[in-house]
Amino acid sequence: MSNTIAIPQSMLPEDGRFGSGPSKIRGEQVDALAAGATTLLGTSHRQTPVRQVVASIREGLASFFRLPEGYEIALGNGGASAFWDMACASLIARRAAFGTYGSFSAKFAASAASAPFLESPVIFEGDPGTYRLPEYVDGVDAYCWAHNETSTGVAAPVRRVAGSLGQGALTLVDGTSAAGALPVDVSQTDAYYFSPQKAFGSDGGLWVAVLSPAAIERAASVEQGAKLDGARRWVPPFLSLTSAVANSRKDQTLNTPAVATLIMLENQVRWLNDNGGLDWASARCARSASILYDWAERSAYANPFVTDPGARSHSVVTIDLDDAIDANRVVSALRDNGIVDTSGYRKLGRNQLRIGVFPSVEPSDVTALTQCVDYVVERLGD
């Protein structure tokens, strides 16, 4: 092992958090916690002050996503992972089709495959570093994929599968590491769902979903069917999308939420909207991402992992390093200098850096990061 490499103070980014989730939380979000120290924290989520926070989140996201007529913002506890199981319990009627191209997109497909009351899903599998969208299949009632595959840094298009509306199928898109960072037309989806600890820079534990009227109707009919024939399907109360929607309409959640997560999310949504909304946020992320991709392409020892420039994520950037340079050592030298969470997704198993460039990250800090990586790599052999 080499000795610790000390990066000169003047080269360091102002903020060293580059995680892909949890991600950087801005100081103003933490200030918002302090501001609510006695009026919000430790108070009931069923009373006006906290419900106003939830109302502001729902209104702010409606404007951020330019909500189409009839669409609603719902939220509940459990994160995107819980939403997968909620979708299995109360959105997929019989059979779903999935595009899978990495850990996160595959996990939802695995949930559906293990639900005893659903038919085996149809899986369209792509190699890591690419995306694969589900294709039209007779008898499928839900098409599912991830807007941004966080394990590989791949961004996929969000548009309905041709013919899917005609067959009455829903489109369920995991927007967890994309929502707030990548452009999206939510009218191409029936559920665009995410957790707030990525682009929204809050803490984990919550799921948020942009829902179409068709999704809300589907949940009602699936859950009604389960009531009539409980032998065929069980919808645990916690996984009832209908209950979640009923609570969300009252600016509440089914069970007790982390109030701190709500406060930080509310502050971020307002910050994004005040700065220019999704157009501003996505342009800022695109700029940060291009700083990294351009640097890697110029570099003698680094390369973007995703070969198709059109599939390169603007929120989670994956950079392969030459085998001669051990990415683990680079990551740990960066951590010694306060630059954290730059390692690749463990299960992908590549000699790689993975960098979250969500809206909270300053593009100038991304530039500083590239210089710090160069500095460390030049000294690794010493």
Contact letters for ligand PLP, residues 247-286 (x by CB under 6 A)? ----------------------------------------
Query: Where does this chain touch ligand PLP (CB under 6 A) — which range of 75-83, 89-97, 114-122, 236-244?
Result: 75-83
Residue 22 or 225 having the CB closest to ligand PLP:
22
225 lines the binding site for ligand PLP (CB under 6 A): no
Q: By CB under 6 A, name the one of 50, 67, 80, 241 that touches ligand PLP.
A: 80
In a 3-state reduction of DSSP, which class is residue 125? Answer: strand
**Shortest Cβ distance from residue 178 to ligand PLP (Å)?**
7
**Shortest Cβ distance from residue 197 to ligand PLP (Å)?**
6
- Torsion 283-287-292-293 (CA) sign: positive
Q: For residues 268 and 200, what is the distance between their CA atoms, to the nearest angstrom?
A: 6
Residue 183 or 204 having the CB closest to ligand PLP:
204
205 burial type by CB count under 10 A (0-12 exposed, 13-18 middle, 19+ buried):
middle
Q: Which residues in 179-198 contact ligand PLP (CB under 6 A)?
A: 195, 198
104 lines the binding site for ligand PLP (CB under 6 A): yes
**Shortest Cβ distance from residue 206 to ligand PLP (Å)?**
8
Question: Of 136, 181, 135, 134, nearest to 155 (Cα)?
Answer: 181
Those residues whose C-beta lies under 8 Å from the C-beta of residue 295, and which sit 6 or more positions away, are: 302, 370
**Residue number with the shortest CB distance to ligand PLP?**
79
- Type of residue at 45: H
Q: For residues 66 and 279, what is the distance between their CA atoms, to the nearest angstrom?
A: 11
Q: Which residues in 127-166 contact ligand PLP (CB under 6 A)?
A: 146, 150
177 lines the binding site for ligand PLP (CB under 6 A): yes
Q: What is the DSSP letter of 68?
A: P
Question: Of 320, 319, 327, 316, nearest to 288 (Cα)?
Answer: 316
Residues that bind ligand PLP (CB under 6 A): 21, 79-81, 104, 146, 150, 174, 176-177, 195, 198, 204
